[in-house]
């Protein structure tokens, strides 16, 4: 989330104080993305250095500065709106690493690890959905932010489900790779049932 | 739990609306036996919406048809509105289903000879509600689901998603105690899916107990509790709800 451009956008409505910008930013993102005061002021300072905003001290307000967007700032905002967002994934997805590690650890049921994460994700989704359910129907700002988080979390749940299916296809005892130490590894996961449910010889 | 002491089982507010105890289901027998559900325990109170999630073939629909008294369990006990289902006569079971349970199943079974509005109004009319009154209630629900202008259409002339919404309206109409929904938003886009789940959610707010089977994590996240099923066994469930403050605490940049 580009705080810089969000602040520029708020300033297109007219000049504003720093604290006011913070309040309006939070209100329009349904308070899902809180912003601290320091972050607001350092961002404004940077925008001012770049010539995208200018400030003027209001005699009557004493210390409080008002900020105003410049023509250069408006051009920058327009450029940003049209620039594709960075699609680069996080350098190493921590969850993928956890599951990779679980696969290699003896005595760990990977599907249980997947389930623990699935539950955490769904619980987090429940909290976001609760926000959405309680919000006023016309609170578009909140709806947009919450949906973005929900779709992101849902994608991770999908990945866990796909991983689950992959693991089901694994033989219970995987071929032992030629490890440097030559020790035999434990089964990667314990299937929850002895054989596919429909085949003869499964539990009766 | 049964109405032995003369209390009306329909208004027994003290017991959970649905209670499954150690319920197992095996389809077929001998070498071809399929254990579809294994020792499932599930309690759903009035006002509660519970979602069941799990992979394909994990036993979700089986659980739902048993909860709806459509299938009998191989072992274990099922209580609906306080009544021990196994102890009820076939007639009493049918009455329980019709009066107290609303269903939305994967095959929607709308009646092809009735219009959308007539399909929705039907359960009320079967309960003896006057046709005009039932019709008004049906129209209100169809309107809520964005289908007011399709009320006179026959199921064959509706899109898959529209049929699905008609089936939902039919399930929630009237004062059901228990709502059972199997992938109720399967053919819907996210806007219509949300309208449907909001409708189920608000029915539960009014005191209905709901069980919602789904693959869809977004849909499940509307539930008070999400139960996870794997290979016929309930393996996990979400914890008690925490407020949205928890989001702020953890999710900041
Ligand atoms: N009438 C039946 N006879 C035999 N086996 C059945 C019958 N109904 C279901 N099964 C089997 O029981 C298991 C559970 O089926 P169920 O329909 O409950 O799964 P599900 O979780 O609802 O799956 P899906 O998400 O695909 O709808 C499956 O292995 C299925 O093949
Ligand atoms: Mg099913």
pLDDT tens profile B124-138: 998 889 999 999 999
- CB-based burial, B50-84: b 16+ in 10 Å, e otherwise: bbbbbbeebbbbbbbbbbbbebebbebebbbbbbb
Q: Across chain B, what does the average pLDDT equal?
A: 86
Q: How many CB pairs under 8 A join A and B?
A: 97
- Which residues between 38 and 57 in chain B have a beta carbon less than 8 angstroms from any beta carbon of chain A? 53, 55, 57
- Per-residue pLDDT, A186: 45
Identify the band that residue B248 occupies on the pLDDT scale cut at 50, 70 and 90: low
Q: Evaluate the CA torsion angle A171, A177, A182, A185 in order and state its sign.
A: negative
- Per-residue pLDDT, A94: 83
Looking at the CA of residue B213, tell me the nearest atom of ligand 1: 22
Res. B176: pLDDT tops 80: yes
Averaged over successive runs of 10 residues, the pLDDT of chain A (204 residues) comes to 84 90 83 80 92 81 80 91 72 80 85 93 94 84 89 94 86 51 45 39 36
- Per-residue pLDDT, B11: 46
pLDDT tens-digit profile of B184-215? 877 777 777 888 898 889 889 889 999 999 98
Mean pLDDT along residues B10-37: 86
Q: What share of chain A is helix, strand, coil (3-state, %, to 5)?
A: 55, 5, 40
Give the domain B18-109+178-242 fold: Rossmann fold (3.40.50)
- Per-residue pLDDT, B83: 93
Contact call for residues B157 and B148 (beta carbons, < 8 A): no
Give the residue whose CA is nearest to atom 19 of ligand 1. B57
Q: Which of these ranges, A195-199, B150-154, B237-241, has the smallest mean pLDDT?
A: A195-199
- Per-residue pLDDT, A187: 45
Residues of B in contact with A123 (CB under 8 A): 238-239, 242
* In chain B, % of residues over pLDDT 70: 88
Mean pLDDT along residues B236-246: 73
- Per-residue pLDDT, B233: 96
CA B144 to chain centre: 19
Q: How many Å lie between the alpha carbon of B188 and the closest alpha carbon of chain A?
A: 16
- Per-residue pLDDT, B247: 58
Cβ atoms < 10 Å from Cβ of A102: 19
pLDDT tens-digit profile of B31-51? 889 999 999 999 999 999 999
- Per-residue pLDDT, B162: 87
Q: Which tokens hold the place of B56?
A: 């394909």
* In chain B, % of residues over pLDDT 90: 58
From the options 3.90.950.10, 1.10.10.10, 3.30.70.370, 1.10.540.10, give the CATH code of A3-82: 1.10.10.10
Cβ atoms < 10 Å from Cβ of A83: 9
- Per-residue pLDDT, A184: 44
- Per-residue pLDDT, A193: 41
Nearest residue, CB atoms, A133 vs list B29, B201, B252: B201
Identify the band that residue B107 occupies on the pLDDT scale cut at 50, 70 and 90: low
Cβ atoms < 10 Å from Cβ of B4: 9
Nearest residue, CB atoms, B236 vs list A119, A124, A150: A119
The most confident of A186-195, B154-163, B179-188, by mean pLDDT: B154-163
Q: What gap in Å lies between CA B134 and CA B138, rounded to an integer?
A: 6
Domain ranges of chain B: 18-109+178-242
């Amino acid at each position: 989330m580009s705080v810089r451009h969000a602040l520029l956008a708020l300033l297109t409505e007219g000049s504003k104080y720093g604290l006011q910008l913070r309040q309006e930013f939070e209100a329009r993102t349904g308070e899902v993305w809180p912003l601290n005061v320091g972050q607001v002021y350092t961002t404004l300072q940077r925008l001012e250095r770049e010539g995208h905003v200018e400030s003027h001290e209001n005699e009557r307000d004493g210390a409080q500065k008002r900020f105003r967007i410049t023509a250069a700032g408006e051009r920058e905002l327009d450029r940003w709106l049209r620039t594709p967002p960075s699609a680069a994934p996080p350098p190493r997805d921590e969850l993928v690493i956890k599951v990779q590690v679980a696969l290699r650890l003896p005595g760990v049921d990977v599907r249980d690890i997947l389930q623990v994460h699935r539950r955490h994700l769904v619980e987090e989704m429940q909290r976001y959905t609760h926000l959405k359910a309680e919000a006023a129907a016309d609170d578009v700002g909140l709806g947009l932010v919450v949906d973005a988080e929900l779709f992101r979390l849902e994608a991770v749940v999908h990945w866990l489900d796909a991983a689950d299916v992959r693991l089901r296809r694994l033989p219970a005892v995987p071929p032992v790779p030629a490890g440097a130490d030559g020790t035999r590894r434990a089964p990667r996961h314990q299937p929850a049932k002895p054989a596919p449910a429909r085949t003869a010889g499964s539990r009766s | 739990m049964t109405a032995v002491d003369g209390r009306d089982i329909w208004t027994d507010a003290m017991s959970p609306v649905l209670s499954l105890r150690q319920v197992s289901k095996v389809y077929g027998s001998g070498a071809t036996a399929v254990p579809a559900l294994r020792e499932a325990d599930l309690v759903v109170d009035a006002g509660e919406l519970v979602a069941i999630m799990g992979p394909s073939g994990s036993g979700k629909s089986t659980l739902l048809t048993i909860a709806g008294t459509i299938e009998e369990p191989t072992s274990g006990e099922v209580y609906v509105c306080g009544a021990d289902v196994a102890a009820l006569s076939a007639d009493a079971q049918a009455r329980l289903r019709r009066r107290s349970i609303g269903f939305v199943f994967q095959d929607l079974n709308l009646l092809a000879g009735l219009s959308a509005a007539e399909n929705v109004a039907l359960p009320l009319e079967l309960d003896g509600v006057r046709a005009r009154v039932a019709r008004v209630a049906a129209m209100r629900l169809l309107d809520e689901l964005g289908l007011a202008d399709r009320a006179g259409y026959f199921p064959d002339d509706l899109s898959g998603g529209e049929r699905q919404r008609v089936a939902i309206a039919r399930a929630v109409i009237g004062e059901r105690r228990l709502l059972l929904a199997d992938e109720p938003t399967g053919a819907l886009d996210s806007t219509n899916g949300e309208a449907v789940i909001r409708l189920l959610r608000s029915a539960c707010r009014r005191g209905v107990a709901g069980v919602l089977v789904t693959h869809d994590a977004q849909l499940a996240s509307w539930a008070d509790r999400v139960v996870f099923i794997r290979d016929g066994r309930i393996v996990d469930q979400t914890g008690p709800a925490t407020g949205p403050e928890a989001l702020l605490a953890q999710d900041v940049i």
